[in-house]
Structure 1
Amino acid sequence: MKVYPRARLYEEMAFIAFYFHWGRDELMHLEHSERRRWCKELSEINRRMDTAPEITLDALN
């Protein structure tokens, strides 16, 4: 059986906690696959927001 790296686990938990404001207990009860899925979804939202065209006042006129 392979052990998931502790540093990676904390990185994923911090990432999810930052966006959802979930506590340690909530995060520790997530299955590995569910935690990874939330990280993937949040990352995709961030990517889309980073590439979205900037809306300016000039663009609205």
Structure 2
Amino acid sequence: MAHTEGVDGAPGTLQATVGEPEEAAGPDTDVALLAAGHPTITELRTVSAVPGLL
């Protein structure tokens, strides 16, 4: 994951790349669950849905 700052008021960017994993995925990670055939990943929530975050 790479982050760049915006220039002259332009928004910054995030760039993700895919590569070979450096180590095996843990047993309860999304990667391991998807590899085992489970059709779901971790729930996505808006930051306003996380109590005490804002």
TM-score (normalised: structure 1):
0.23
Greater relative contact order, per chain length (Cα 8 Å cut-off, separation 6+): 1
Structure ranking higher in helix proportion: 1
Kindly indicate which of the two structures has a greater share of residues assigned to strand.
2
TM-score (norm: length of structure 2): 0.25
